[in-house]
Each structure stands twice: as structure tokens, then as C-alpha cells.
Structure 1
Amino acid sequence: MTTTNAQLFTHAKVFTGASEDDFATAFRVVDGRFGWVGDAAEVAGEPSTDLGGRTVLPGLIDSHTHPALMVAHGTEVECFPPVVASIDELVTRLREHPDVGAGDGTWILGRGFDDTKFPGGRMPTAADLDRVSTDQPVLVWRCDAHSAVCNSVALRIAGIAAATLDPAGARFERNADGSPSGVLTEIAAVQAVAQHIPSPRHEEMVAALVTIADEFASRGIVAVCDLLSTRIDDPLAVFRRAAAAGMRTRVALYPGWDPSAPLVDLHATDRDGQVRVAGVKVVLDGAYSNRTAWVHEPYPDSCDHGLRLVGDDEVRAAAEWARRNRVQLAVHAMGDQALDRVVDLFGGDEPWLDGIPSVRIEHATVVTDAYVRRLREARMTFGIATHTVFFFAEYDGYEKALRTRADAYPIRRLYGAIEPLALSSDRPATAWSGADDVMLSIEAAVRRHAYNGADFGPDAAINVAQAVLLYTGRARLLSPLAGVGVIAPGFDGSFAVLDRDVFTVPEDEIADVRVAETWIRGERVFAR
């Protein structure tokens, strides 16, 4: 005889995620799925869990984040603003790394500094990091995760000297005498050093992923897309081991396309389950905050158009792999020239997936009305994962890099035109500690203010319900994370209970709203 596990929840303000104004006051979870959603009056007198009038959201989706990156190299100290706001503070923070003094072969690693917030906007160099250690290798990633700085020991280990040629689509920055400065611009240059860092054991990565999943739950996040899961070896196996060890988060993996190490074709089981391979990612250009996004017009006071990181043949090859394996192609494209190139390459092609876009565009910084028309008129199906935490946290860099803010992260324009649309964190490739705080992103979407109070395109603001949908009902249309994003019969019984009503608090207090409880498939996994 089968036993049914049913829980009734009442006395709540339930935002279902079905539309901007769809609310209920009660719901039932049966065997881990929503079995009924409606008015509490319909179930009056039945035994229930009273939620005390609190606001309930569907379990949240972070559609572009990097848990594999967070566990790839073991211990990295956080060097994000506002804690680290100068080179001296960066050096001090790195000196606090637990592995300082652990031996010549032990790396001292950090992540998240934003040089645009440093006095004079100066990039740290190997000479600065030599103040951390002249015996151990030191590497610290910039906030965009596209660039980094290392010390002299790390340069020697990597064999980078004055005569070393720059990698394709990247640069080893130089001192006046031609010697390497320690600044590594773009991913290929960073990887030339980072490849020498010993990888943590699988057991360590599994344990770290379980801990990261607990952090997600504290934010109300129940499902994520990992956009570059091949920062670790065999990510599908590692994430599935983490799920077996207690990680409850749904995870969609997007391995990176590397022509020197082609991806093997998928089995049907690789595309199913709590952890699944959902696509392949190509990084087409750099980032605005360090002026490497690929742009039509040169950056202000410059002749520089940024960097294109891969050629058409590689992008096409990745798309063919995605088509053959029935998964998505995700293209990192920030600059307007990169965005145009995505449509040039694929706009006229027949889509290969049903129900979700075949091509995801990641970031999509500068989007004009004309570009939106191109997406809507294309034969190909496109979706977008974008951000508000970027301009909130990295205002200083965007202020210097953008020619105009009118078309930068135009969330209102995108909301009205592109249905598969999501806000996301890009953690840890964002210049803010706690970048995956969904409430921070929602406040930025509503107020369009940067961390320093500066306006950032206020005409592009959306309302709270719209912003919440971009983490729930609309976000679920972007990727194959089946079963989440909506409180409706048949969906996972996953939801977040808030400590304040995000729909009615003053706009400047939205970021102060906290998740009080998170439930995943009918089980409470977090309580504040």
C-alpha cells in the first residue's frame, strides 16, 4: 500500500509565478509536488501549516552562475568590494589567506577585486602581489573572471617572460621594458597561469558543492544553470555525487567549448535528472568593466574595440554539437558587435529545440530596439540571461566604458519583447560580495540605482512583480530546468517564504528583505 505524504499550507500571500498579478492564499504539496493551489477559504478547517500571512515565492532560479568555478581551485579568499577598495587592502586580504606560509608549492588564491574602485583606478601588478609572498605563487581573479593578476613566482611557474607570445584573443600585459607585468587580460592568458594550480580532490569538490547548495537555499534559490561547468573535470559526475551527498539544488550544466578538447556526445541519461547537461557555452567576447567586450564604436578616448575571443568556425562547431546532442548553445556576448555576430551566424537557422530557445545569449549588455527586432524576426529561437547586479556593482567601470547608458541592460525593453528572459547573478564573476542575493538584483531592477546611488537608465526600470518573474515564471522558459519556477499543480513543491513582503516594502528596502524559509520538493531545507 502506497503512503501519500501531503502538506497543506495556509494563511499566506502566494505569488504563483504564473503572471504579474496571480496570487493565492493556500497550497498543498503532495509527495514533493504541488497538488493544489487556491484560496484558503476552500480548505478552511483542514489541518495545515499556518504561514502567518507571510509572502511566498516559487523557488528561485539563478539562470547564470558558476558553482563549478567556485570549487575549481580550492580555497580562494574573497576580495570583493566594498571590503577591498584599494591595492593595499587587496594585499592585506591575500595575506590573510589560510595557506600563507604553507610551503613553496602552495598557491595563494583570491577572487573579486575591482580596480575601477581603487584610488586612481590602477590595476595591481606582480610587484604589488610580491608583497604577499616572494616564495609562494599568488593569483587573484578580477571581478569579471575574465582577467587576473599574479605575482613573480606564478609567472616563473607558467614560463611567462618577455619573449612569450600572447595567447589568441588574450594578452600578457607588459611593463615599459617588455617584461610581463603580471596582469593577465582575458581567459586564455589567465588559464596559462591557472592551469598550474593543483586541482582539489573530487571529495573536496563534492563537499564544497553541498555547502554552496546550502548558500543557494539561504537565498531561496532552488535551481541554477552553471555556465562553464568544465572549470572542473567531469562536472556531471562531480555534481551528481554532490546530489547523492545531500545537494538538493536542480542544476543545468553548460560545459565550455574547447576545440583542443572536443566534447564527447551525450547519452540520453546525461540530459535528464536533478543534475543534467543542458547545453554548451562559447565565450565570444570579453567584459565591459575591463573594456574587452567586442564593440562597434571604440571605447571613449580610445581606438580599442575590445576583443573577439573565438572565430566563426569555432562558434559554428559548438552549435553543431548542441544541435546533434539536442541541447542549447549559450553564447557569452556583451558588446554590441558580439551580439550582432550571434544573430548574423544563427538568425536564419532552423531551431532544433522545442519549448525552450535553442540559442541563449548571456549578458547582452547593450540592446537597442533594432536589435530586439532582429531577435524577434529571426527564424532561430533566442533567449537572454542578463543582469542588474552588474551595473549596480560595477558602475565605475561601466561609466568609463559605455558611450551611452540609454541601451545598457534595458530590462523593461527586453521584458516586453523576449519571453525567455531571466535575471541572474554570474556569481562569482561579479564585483560584489553576495552577488546572488536575489533581492539586491530586484531592487536594482526597480530603482535602477548603482551601489553609490547613481542613476543608471531609470527609464529601463520594471516593477517588483516583473523582476520576481525574471527569477521564477519567466526564467523557467530559458532553460530545461523542468518542474521549477511556478507554484502550480504538477510542479516541484519548492518555494521560498520571505520575512517581509517584497511587493509592499519601500523600494529602497527591497534589498533588506530576507528569505525566512526555503522548501525543496516538500522538504524544508533552510530556516533562518
Structure 2
Amino acid sequence: MSRQAFVAGKVFTGEDESRVVTAFRVNDGLVEWTGDVHELDPAERRSAIDLEGRTVLPGLLDMHLHPAVMASLADAVECLPPRVRSVDELVATLRCHPALGAGPDVWIVGTGYDEAVYPEHRHPTARDLDRVSTTQPVLVWRADRHSAVCNTRALEIAGITAATPDPPGSRFGRDETGRPDGILTERDAAHAVARHVPERTAAEFADLLGAVGERLLARGIVGVCDLMATALPDPLATYRSAAGRRPFPRSALFLGWDPAAPLPDLTEDERTGPVRVGGVKVLMDGTYSGRTAWVCHPYPESDDHGLRAVTDDDLCAARDWARRNEVQLAVHAMGDRAIAHVVDLLGDDEPWLTDQPSVRIEHATLMSPELVDRLRTTRMSFGIATHTVFLFAEYAAYARNLRPEQLPDAYPVRTLYGAVDALALSSDCPATAWSEADDVFVSVEAAVRRRAHNGEDIGQDAAVTVAQALLLYTSRAAGLTRLTGLAGPSRLGTIAPGREASFVVLDRDVLTVPSEEISRVRVDETWLAGRRVYRR
């Protein structure tokens, strides 16, 4: 296709909250013109692709999710609510895993348990998972993907005993006698076991990642930031292999920072192209649902302030690597103490990037107005990838872990929308307790209604309009991290002349449906650089 006009019922261009047109023209994968259908001459109008009165949006951008993890979990049994709502149901679900009985070296892996909804009000333990198998290793990831639980056999394989010290910023759960109980709190503890799960070949990972790319395109997602790309053994090569075989979203990969194994410097080729290394990621703290986010005030009914997961020296080393390699530093920081510490430590630094924020704060769960003001006045350029899906999907845990006076500051999207230019809503899929977290319209509805999945109020004062929520998945999101499309860097997120012709066609008008029906909106078609890559 070279030059082709499109006619639709409504084209939300993403240029601002209100601009809508009814036609646009694409030339060699780029948008050439937008306007009213009646501006087309009769011949072009007759040859135009008629989108049958449907609504069109710019291609959607999910700026914080984990396609590499999604690929690695291809054979893990899903243990999310509502399928699993108790320890007994977790055990029963794991016993349905096809690997059960396959041999003593074959792992049984699950993902998505959420103890906050269990009537037992506790984490499952090794004793529980021993009911699945005592001869095969069993490992189940918590919904947040920060923590996990395993059975006794998995502890034995990992060599974790009563004498094993806790990793920095993590901990091994222990019973009343001091023996490990299988609960693996935070990343280093979980990975002490998970690293023993046999890895697939590079070709297998590329095939699985390609399938994830197809899933995302079917969701209308044309650009992604993978904030855990090092879940793959050779992330950039695997991504490029997957993208070379079939249509694939534009991708920026963030590599995990390991102080014990510093990353090599990047080449120019690794930093450029439609699939590139976008930055390095550091964990400042844990998660709110797991009470491991680093907070100023202790969690209710406790003296626990969560966990700090990285030293200042290691954070600064990651910053220096990002600066030297001209990529972003992404800092996972959920708790207010973690966010404030990042701002204090890096706020006076000179930014090293001009076309995107030098530092991204991931999640930014608890943001008081004072903390938002501090973020705005720093010398450093900060951007934020935040969410509504956590409060929507994990209401029980947040209601238990947030103090009442903190609720107005939990994911304050409306405040951030007016204060932070480089801001995106995102899914964090699959690291949350919702199996369809990568459905953008679930997050959009939660941002507009500020209601949890059970109807509970999750902060009406933080609600935004539908148009604002859509911008946080399109043009505003594009400003958070540079994604390279056909027309060069940062050319996604809008339907405007000179931009890549990547757009989605919806089955209904998301701008006018009742707010409680937004999550039912479906993508009928996805177009990438002027080529249709998905049709429902």
C-alpha cells in the first residue's frame, strides 16, 4: 500500500483531549493528512477504506509490562482469582498441572496467587504445596511477581536450609522452629529457587514471545516497554528474532541491574531500531499488596515499614551506566519513602537525555501533593509509569495495607495528569491479580470510574475523563520513553501528519459508552505502519 484514505465514524487523533476527525490518509506507512471526509475529492472518497462508522484511536502503548515474563510463563498454570480463592483451591489447581507425575526433575509452576482474598488470610506454605507433590518441585509466583512460594522438594533443590541467610532486601519465610517454610519474599529470595527451573532454548523463547506479540496486537497495543526483559536469557536477540518472524509491537527493553554482574556497555545498534534496549531497571522497594513497599509510616496494625531493596551506591552505579549509555534509568518505587528517596538522591543531577525523561519512576503508588510538587521542581527530568489496575484488581490487599488518610494519595492519576508531562497508564501484566490486565480498557474504565472490580470506591477525586485516560495510553505515554517506529523516534501515539500510521479500530465508541461498559470495548482491527496486522 502506498497512498490510501480511510473513512471512519470518529477518529480520536490523540493530539489533545478533543480533536476528532472523520478521515485520514496514509502514504507509505505514515499519516499524510487528517480532516473531514468531505474534504476528500469524490474519486478518493470512493476508493477509501470504509471503517464502517467505527471509532479509531492511535495505536495503544503499554509502557510498563512484561512480555518476556508472559512468554516464560507459557506452561505455568494460572492461579489468579476468581479461579483460585483459597489455599485448598490453589492446591487443587496445581494438581491439574499437566506436569504432575512427569518425573522427579519436572517442575510444577503456577502464577498469580493472592492470599489477600483467601479465607485463611495467609500465604500458602511448603506444607500446603507438599500436598501437590513431595517428589516434584513446585513453585508458585505471587500475583505481584515479586514473591513466591515453593514446596519442600524445591527448597531442597535450591539448598535453602535453616542456616541459609536472607538475601539483601528479601527474606526466606521460616516456621516457629526457624526452618524455611517455603515463602519467598521479594525478588532475590524467589529467584534463589526460580533459577533452578530449567530454561527453554532461545528458539523456543522466540516462538513464545512471538505469540505474546500477537496477543498484544490483538489488544491494540503497538508499542511496549518490557520492564523485566532479562527474564529472557538473551533478551535483545530473542526479541529481534520474534519481531523478525511476524508483526510485533515496537519495543524498548529494560535490563535488570545486578550489582554483582555489571552490564556491559551498549553498542549503537543495541540502542536503536524498532526493538532496542531502552534502559536499566533498579528495584528500590517491594510491593504494596505484599507489604514490602518502603513507606514513611508503618503499615496498619504493625511497625513494619516494608523493605528497601537497593543501596545508594548500587542505584548510583545504575544511573552512571544509564548516563554513559544514553538510555533511561527506571526505578521501581511504590512506597512514599522509596519515591522520596529517589527524588532526594537523584533530583539535583543534570539530566542526560533530552528527548525523554532520564529517570522513570515505576508505579509511584503513594504520591502526596507535597511529593508531587517536589518531583516537579527538581533539576532531574522524571517521568512516571503508574496504574489503576492494581487498585481495581487487588482492592482487598490495598484496603488492608493503606492507612485511611493515605487513600487519597494512592495512584492519584488526576493530580499526576496535571503535574507530570511524561506520564503513562500501564498494565504491569502479568504482575497483578487480574488475568486480563493487558486489556487497556480495563485500566481506562478503572481510571474513569475509580471503582474496584467489586464496586468499591478507589478514590473518586483521582478520576480522569475517558479522553485523558486514552491520552495516557497514546500520546502522553509516547513521551515517557522513546519508541522507534517507521518514521523514527517517538512517532507513535497520535494520528497526525508525519506520524506512523499505527491505529486501532474499535467495536464501539469508547468516548460515549456508559462508563461501566468501557471495559467491554473490544479492538476490531489493529494497523501497524499502514498494514492491518489483526482483525477480530
What's the TM-score once normalised by structure 1's chain length?
Answer: 0.98
Match of 2:21 in 1: 24
Describe the superposition over 1:94-148 as per-residue Cα deviations: whole angstroms up to 9, x where unpaired: 1222211211111111111111011132210111111111111110000011110
Q: Secondary structure at the residue paired with 2:475?
A: coil
Match of 1:42 in 2: 39
- Which residue identity does 1:406 align to in structure 2? P
- Distance in 2 between the 1:158 and 1:164 partners? 11
Describe the superposition over 1:164-193 as per-residue Cα deviations: whole angstroms up to 9, x where unpaired: 111111111011111111000000100100
Q: Secondary structure at the residue paired with 2:25?
A: strand
- Distance in 2 between the 1:31 and 1:296 partners? 53
- Distance in 2 between the 1:127 and 1:7 partners? 63
- Distance in 2 between the 1:351 and 1:55 partners? 39
Alignment of 1:343-354 (within 5 A): 343-354=343-354
- Distance in 1 between the 2:472 and 2:113 partners? 28
Describe the superposition over 1:207-248 as per-residue Cα deviations: whole angstroms up to 9, x where unpaired: 111110111011110110000211111201110011111142
- Which residue identity does 2:476 align to in structure 1? R
Q: Secondary structure at the residue paired with 2:248?
A: coil
- Distance in 2 between the 1:283 and 1:525 partners? 35
Match of 1:462 in 2: 464
- Distance in 2 between the 1:87 and 1:7 partners? 56
Describe the superposition over 1:302-353 as per-residue Cα deviations: whole angstroms up to 9, x where unpaired: 0100000110000000000000000000000000000001111111111000
Structure 2 residues not aligned, in runs of 5+: 484-489
Whether 2:501 is the aligned partner of 1:493: answer yes
Once the 2 structures are TM-superposed, how far is the Cα of residue 28 of structure 1 from its aligned partner? 1.4
Whether 2:435 is the aligned partner of 1:438: answer no
Match of 2:144 in 1: 144
Q: Secondary structure at the residue paired with 2:269?
A: helix
The correspondence for 1:405, drawn from 404, 407, 410, is: 407
Q: Secondary structure at the residue paired with 1:384?
A: strand
- Distance in 2 between the 1:73 and 1:432 partners? 15
- Distance in 2 between the 1:319 and 1:405 partners? 32
- Distance in 2 between the 1:443 and 1:345 partners? 35
Whether 2:367 is the aligned partner of 1:370: answer no
Match of 1:13 in 2: 10
Match of 2:452 in 1: 450
Match of 1:356 in 2: 356
Aligned CA-pair RMSD: 1.0
Whether the 8 Å CA contact 2:65–2:426 is kept in 1: the answer is: yes
Once the 2 structures are TM-superposed, how far is the Cα of residue 44 of structure 1 from its aligned partner? 4.2
Q: Secondary structure at the residue paired with 2:172?
A: strand
Q: Secondary structure at the residue paired with 2:398?
A: helix
Q: Secondary structure at the residue paired with 2:505?
A: strand
Once the 2 structures are TM-superposed, how far is the Cα of residue 11 of structure 1 from its aligned partner? 3.0
Q: Secondary structure at the residue paired with 1:119?
A: coil
Whether 2:100 is the aligned partner of 1:100: answer yes
Once the 2 structures are TM-superposed, how far is the Cα of residue 90 of structure 1 from its aligned partner? 1.1
- Distance in 2 between the 1:317 and 1:276 partners? 21
Alignment of 1:164-313 (within 5 A): 164-313=164-313
Whether the 8 Å CA contact 1:74–1:199 is kept in 2: the answer is: no
Which stretches of structure 1, 4 residues or more, deviate above 4 A after TM superposition?
none
- Which residue identity does 1:245 align to in structure 2? R
- Which residue identity does 2:181 align to in structure 1? S
Alignment of 1:513-524 (within 5 A): 513-524=521-532
Q: Secondary structure at the residue paired with 1:109?
A: strand
Match of 1:427 in 2: 429
- Distance in 2 between the 1:516 and 1:78 partners? 27
Structure 1 residues not aligned, in runs of 5+: none
- Which residue identity does 1:191 align to in structure 2? H
- Distance in 1 between the 2:260 and 2:201 partners? 24
Aligned residues with identical type, % of pairs:
59
- Which residue identity does 1:407 align to in structure 2? D
Match of 2:319 in 1: 319
Moved more, 427-436 or 481-490: 481-490
Once the 2 structures are TM-superposed, how far is the Cα of residue 74 of structure 1 from its aligned partner? 5.1
Describe the superposition over 1:479-513 as per-residue Cα deviations: whole angstroms up to 9, x where unpaired: 01122111112221111101010010001111111
Alignment of 1:153-168 (within 5 A): 153-168=153-168
Match of 2:89 in 1: 89
Alignment: residue pair count: 525
Q: Secondary structure at the residue paired with 2:408?
A: coil
Match of 1:505 in 2: 513
Q: Secondary structure at the residue paired with 2:517?
A: helix
Whether the 8 Å CA contact 1:124–1:149 is kept in 2: the answer is: yes
- Which residue identity does 1:442 align to in structure 2? V
Whether the 8 Å CA contact 2:66–2:226 is kept in 1: the answer is: yes
